[in-house]
Structure 1
Amino acid sequence: MAARRMTFRHIEAFRAVMVTGSMTEASRRLHTSQPQVSRLIAQLEAITGLPLFDRSGSRVIPSLDGTRFHAEVERAFVGLTSLEAAATRIRAFGAEQLRVAAMPRLAGGLLARAVVRFRVAHPDVIVAIHSGDDETVDHWIATGFCDAALTMLYGDVPEGRLDHVETRACVAVLPQDHPLADRAALGPEDFRGVPFVATSLGSALRDRTEAVFDAAGIPLTITAEAGLGASICTLVSAGLGVSVMNPLAAHEEAKVSPIAIRPFAPALPVHFALLFPPDHARGRLMRAFGACARAVLLEELAVLPDAVPRRPAS
């Protein structure tokens, strides 16, 4: 008897359960029965050989394997979504569309404002905004799923498909009542033995930060980790430690979180830039959107306190 093979129906059920956290809710979303969804999930676990969920009464909780498998599923669906979007554009007699991306902090603010400005001049163009972590955004651009992205890069600026806008230096963030808040500027020596909230392990900022502290001979006393700037600032404001992060996110979060911001040296540069797919021909619309995004980004950076020298695009 031939082994059962994975089908689209299996993946559709899996995604629905991941989103809803319930076999019953997933069945409603898929307009099928709860037993049918349960069978599909059981079959998928047998096919993959992975325990995708931990059952707890009527709720199902993704296992570690399930979470990792879901990340791969979502990557695969990027291609499928791209095909669906292409079909939609064809049905609309070639209506033009741009797909743009950024990490959540940029997508919800800067990128959205760039889209608004772009649409004033190009009201007939459909613009879709996608947000994800830096690795996901880079994947979307590398595969051509998205036409452009606003990005922040730490370290050297790569050549080729990236248009550099401006470079700033990362800043130190700490609770407003922290003893170090009395100092005008901070460096690695000031953080010796001080609890530190780090970015996620493996991120570019984490690698760069550790390199700066290693060079100074100061071990980081990491007490918490977070992937998003908003989460880092929440942990810092709650007194869990200090941190180092990009100035745009820091000053945005300072509007809602009680944190102090100070210059940090040696400089840990962050490059704000526009990213495009490789070998992508930038037509009139893409150039127009790039100009809007660049202008909005420069306006936002211009109002930040000029704590450190800036380096504009050459």
Structure 2
Amino acid sequence: MMQKTNACAMEIRQLEAFAAVMTTGSVTGAARLLERSQPAITRLVQELEAEIGYALFARSGPRVTPTEQAYLLYGDVERMLGSWRSIHSRAAEVGRGGVAQPLVLAATSALAVGLVPQALHALQESFADTPVQLRSAAPEQVVHDVLNGVVQMGASSLPLEHKGLHILWMGQAPCVAVLPAGDALCDLPVVPVHALAQRRWVTMSNPYRLRHKLNAALSTNVGQGMGAQASDFMGPAIETNSSINAQAMVRAGLGVAILEPLTALGAPAEGVVVRPLDASVLFDFGVFVLAGRSPSGMVQALAQAMLAAARAVPGFVQLESTESNR
């Protein structure tokens, strides 16, 4: 029995060594980070490579370069190690007599910034003794984490058409124009979409979510007023996977953006002016848990507090569950 426990511990050490080399970029840095010798780190990585059957690093003398397989594996390893560290912390807490169950959430950056902090603030007295972990990730990863039980609740943009999910609530709110301070359009109470034609844009890189709806709305508006496609409407684009990044780029004067309103509400930035649009570009989002598992009282309370925070967003409308395929 002791031998089996040691084997499990060795597997964790292998993954820790791999993650440390990926993080620091070298065996030397990993050894320093984990307070182990360089030969020990090298041995652990080699044992892991032998176990999985392929190389994780290409070696050239003292230098190591991650392989493509290493990059593909790294995200899963980091999440597993994060869960492992949570178990260690939880075990220590239980040993000290702690009984509060941690609340673990995953959300896209917009909802992590625009709804979760406000909801936790509204419930801070109830959650005073509850450890909370918030993971910010891409929509697909948020869904993955909920389906695999890594987190207790997820919040993401739509669509959320998956049999394994139970939607607690869904809503939509109109997107907004985000402009650098001093832009001539800042003087307008409502920004006409056609006024953004041929400007440099900062836009979302995922073509199947907000970007898809934005392109459809632009094609409709541009087609009516200018006889062109959305691609003709935009100037050179800067793409990013985070609305926080987009807002920062607008603040730096790199372009204009049409973004969901949650980031502007939850993390207002100096040097940026937010205005409503004269066109309907709707951002759809929802909060969900694993189907077939009753959410805890904490999860239900937080979901309702997030809904209350969403209702403060101008133009917010709660959706029926039949409207989830958006």
Is TM-score (shorter-chain normalized) higher than 0.5?
A: yes
1:259 aligns with 2:272: yes
Give the 5 Å matches for 1:225-244.
225-244=239-258
Aligned residues: 299
What is the CA-CA distance between 1:77 and the residue it aligns to? 4.6
In the alignment, the residues of structure 1 paired with residue 294 and residue 122 of structure 2 have an alpha-carbon distance, to the nearest angstrom, of 22
Give the 5 Å matches for 1:1-80.
7-41=11-45, 49-50=54-55, 52=57, 62=66, 65-77=69-81
Rate the CA distance shift 1:184–1:155 in 2: closer, same or farther, 3 A: farther
Bigger shift: 261-270 or 49-58? Answer: 49-58
Q: Aligned match of 2:289 in 252, 259, 276?
A: 276
What is the CA-CA distance between 1:246 and the residue it aligns to? 0.7
Tell me, yes or no, if the aligned pair for 1:89 and 1:96 is still in contact at 8 Å.
no
Rate the CA distance shift 1:135–1:68 in 2: closer, same or farther, 3 A: same
Tell me, yes or no, if the aligned pair for 1:82 and 1:145 is still in contact at 8 Å.
no
**Equivalent position amino acid for 1:22 in 2:** S
Structure 1 residues 291-310: Cα deviation after superposition (integer angstroms, max 9, x where no partner): 333334434x2xxxx4xx43
**Number of the residue aligned with 1:287:** 300
Tell me, yes or no, if the aligned pair for 1:103 and 1:133 is still in contact at 8 Å.
yes
In the alignment, the residues of structure 1 paired with residue 264 and residue 118 of structure 2 have an alpha-carbon distance, to the nearest angstrom, of 19
What is the CA-CA distance between 1:111 and the residue it aligns to? 2.0
Tell me, yes or no, if the aligned pair for 2:139 and 2:157 is still in contact at 8 Å.
no
What is the CA-CA distance between 1:203 and the residue it aligns to? 5.3
For 1:294, what is the secondary structure of its paired residue? helix
For 2:295, what is the secondary structure of its paired residue? coil
In the alignment, the residues of structure 1 paired with residue 193 and residue 58 of structure 2 have an alpha-carbon distance, to the nearest angstrom, of 43
What is the CA-CA distance between 1:170 and the residue it aligns to? 0.7
In the alignment, the residues of structure 2 paired with residue 42 and residue 158 of structure 1 have an alpha-carbon distance, to the nearest angstrom, of 39
**Structure 1 unpaired stretches of 5+:** 1-5
**Equivalent position amino acid for 2:141 in 1:** T
Bigger shift: 197-206 or 75-84? Answer: 75-84
**Number of the residue aligned with 1:218:** 230
In the alignment, the residues of structure 2 paired with residue 221 and residue 56 of structure 1 have an alpha-carbon distance, to the nearest angstrom, of 46
Structure 1 residues 113-149: Cα deviation after superposition (integer angstroms, max 9, x where no partner): 4335435135444433333232222222122221123
For 2:253, what is the secondary structure of its paired residue? coil
In the alignment, the residues of structure 1 paired with residue 115 and residue 317 of structure 2 have an alpha-carbon distance, to the nearest angstrom, of 20
For 1:276, what is the secondary structure of its paired residue? strand
In the alignment, the residues of structure 2 paired with residue 56 and residue 209 of structure 1 have an alpha-carbon distance, to the nearest angstrom, of 49
What is the CA-CA distance between 1:236 and the residue it aligns to? 1.7
**Equivalent position amino acid for 2:34 in 1:** L
With normalisation by structure 2, the TM-score equals: 0.73
Runs of 4+ in structure 1 over 6 Å off: 53-58, 155-160
Give the 5 Å matches for 1:187-198.
188-198=193-203
Structure 1 residues 250-278: Cα deviation after superposition (integer angstroms, max 9, x where no partner): 3445433x123222343121234322122
With normalisation by structure 1, the TM-score equals: 0.76
**Equivalent position amino acid for 2:151 in 1:** C
**Equivalent position amino acid for 1:284 in 2:** G
1:310 aligns with 2:323: no
In the alignment, the residues of structure 1 paired with residue 171 and residue 104 of structure 2 have an alpha-carbon distance, to the nearest angstrom, of 23
**Number of the residue aligned with 1:247:** 261
1 or 2 for the larger relative contact order (CA 8 Å, sep ≥6)?
2
Tell me, yes or no, if the aligned pair for 1:96 and 1:124 is still in contact at 8 Å.
no
CA RMSD of aligned residues (A): 3.7
Give the 5 Å matches for 1:295-306.
295-299=308-312, 301=313, 306=314
**Structure 2 unpaired stretches of 5+:** 1-9, 224-228, 321-326
What is the CA-CA distance between 1:177 and the residue it aligns to? 3.2
**Equivalent position amino acid for 1:208 in 2:** K
Q: Aligned match of 1:171 in 159, 167, 176?
A: 176
For 1:221, what is the secondary structure of its paired residue? coil
In the alignment, the residues of structure 2 paired with residue 233 and residue 43 of structure 1 have an alpha-carbon distance, to the nearest angstrom, of 44
In the alignment, the residues of structure 1 paired with residue 230 and residue 303 of structure 2 have an alpha-carbon distance, to the nearest angstrom, of 41
Structure 1 residues 162-181: Cα deviation after superposition (integer angstroms, max 9, x where no partner): 23364211112122333444
Give the 5 Å matches for 1:92-131.
95-107=100-112, 110-121=115-126, 123-131=128-136
Structure 1 residues 27-59: Cα deviation after superposition (integer angstroms, max 9, x where no partner): 13333211332344456567654564687977x
Tell me, yes or no, if the aligned pair for 1:194 and 1:221 is still in contact at 8 Å.
yes
